[in-house]
């Protein structure tokens, strides 16, 4: 298995993925609080583009799915579709209390709960809403923890704990 050429290509691919992850943002039923903080994270003061992270439109070009808000009944299918349209390897970041467990909207008739009820989540960023610094912290931890694999097995995603695996 130790094909040196294959290994070198793998290291190169992983480096490229880690240093230029493209993100797509979806609001699955948030109050907007997290969304404006995510947008702030991409603007000059916080500027995550320093880390190579770029916000762009199509899920088909994205490596990172940033989800905010408790998942509503109407949003569920759309969230799944966006997730499925993303190419592997892909990572999901749940930003805010709503996206983690439903937050203040837990128990509302149209809310299904957290994002992990619908798609597997790699990193959770707590806060209602989290500050931009917290969002950056979550993204950095996720990128550090991103495994060196071209094809991660289902259900065995990077935990976002920042153990540096694969670096």
Partner 1 sequence: MTVTEDALAKGVELLKPWTEETNVPEKGRTDVILRPENLLAAVDVLHREPWGHLTSITGLDLGVDAGEIEVLYHFRRQAAVLGLRVRTPRDAASVASIWDILPSASFMEREMSEMLGVDVVGMPPHGRLFLADDWPEGAYPLRKDFSPEEAAQQRPAEDRPGDAAEKPQRFIIPIGPQHPALKEPGHFEFCVDGEIITSASARLGYAHRGIEKATEARTWVQDLYLLERVCGICSHIHAMTYCQGVEKLAGIEVPPRARAIRTLMAELERVHSHMLWLGVGAHEAGFDTLFMYAWRDRETVMDLLESLSGNRVNYSANLLGGVKFDVGDGQIKAVLDGADILEKRLHHYLDVATTDESFLIRTQGIGTMTQQQAEVLGTVGPTARASGVTRDLRLDAPYAAYPDFPVKPVVASGGDLLARFVVRIEELFESLRVVRALVQNLPEGDLAVRVPTKIPEGETVSCSEAPRGELYYYIESGGADKPERIKVRTPTLANWGAVLSTVVGCQLADVPMVLAGIDPCFSCNDRMVRLRTESSGRRLWSWEELRRYGIEYYRCKTSAT
Secondary structure (H, E, C), 107-119: CCCCEEECHHHCC
Would you count residue 75 as binding partner 1 (CB under 8 A)? Answer: yes
Would you count residue 80 as binding partner 1 (CB under 8 A)? Answer: no
Q: Which of residues 32-61 bind partner 1 (CB under 8 A)?
A: 32-37, 39-40, 43-45, 56-59
According to DSSP, residue 106 is labeled: T
Minimum CB–partner distance for residue 11 and partner 1 (Å): 33
Minimum CB–partner distance for residue 75 and partner 1 (Å): 5
Minimum CB–partner distance for residue 20 and partner 1 (Å): 19
Q: What number of residues does the chain have?
A: 167
CB-nearer residue toward partner 1: 19 or 56? 56
Q: Which of residues 106-165 bind partner 1 (CB under 8 A)?
A: 107-111, 128-129, 131
Q: What sections of 65-151 are H helices per DSSP?
A: 76-85, 97-101, 132-145
Q: Classify 137 in phi/psi space as left (phi over 0), alpha (psi -120 to 50) or beta.
A: alpha
CB-nearer residue toward partner 1: 31 or 123? 31
Would you count residue 67 as binding partner 1 (CB under 8 A)? Answer: no
CB-nearer residue toward partner 1: 13 or 131? 131
CA dist., res. 36 & res. 75, Å (int): 19
Handedness of CA 80, 137, 150, 148 (dihedral sign): negative
CB-nearer residue toward partner 1: 14 or 28? 28
- Give buried/exposed letters for 92-104 (b at 16+ CB in 10 A, else e): bbbbbbbbbbbbe
According to DSSP, residue 112 is labeled: E
Interface residue list for partner 1 (CB under 8 A)? 24-37, 39-40, 43-45, 56-59, 69-70, 72-75, 78, 82, 103-105, 107-111, 128-129, 131
């Amino acid at each position: 298995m130790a094909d040196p050429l294959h290994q070198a290509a793998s290291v190169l691919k992983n480096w490229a993925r880690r240093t230029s992850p493209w993100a797509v943002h979806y609001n699955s039923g948030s109050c907007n609080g997290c969304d404006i903080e995510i947008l702030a994270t991409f603007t000059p003061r916080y500027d995550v583009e320093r880390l190579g992270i770029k916000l762009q439109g199509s899920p088909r070009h994205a490596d990172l799915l940033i989800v905010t808000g408790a998942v509503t009944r109407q949003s569920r299918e759309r969230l799944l579709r966006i997730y499925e349209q993303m190419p592997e390897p892909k990572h999901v970041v749940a930003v805010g209390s709503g996206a983690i467990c439903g937050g203040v909207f837990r128990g509302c008739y149209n809310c299904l709960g957290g994002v992990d009820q619908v798609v597997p989540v790699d990193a959770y960023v707590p806060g209602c809403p989290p500050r931009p610094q917290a969002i950056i912290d979550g993204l950095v931890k996720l990128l550090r923890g991103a495994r060196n694999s071209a094809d991660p097995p289902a259900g065995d995603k990077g935990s976002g704990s920042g153990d540096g695996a694969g670096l």
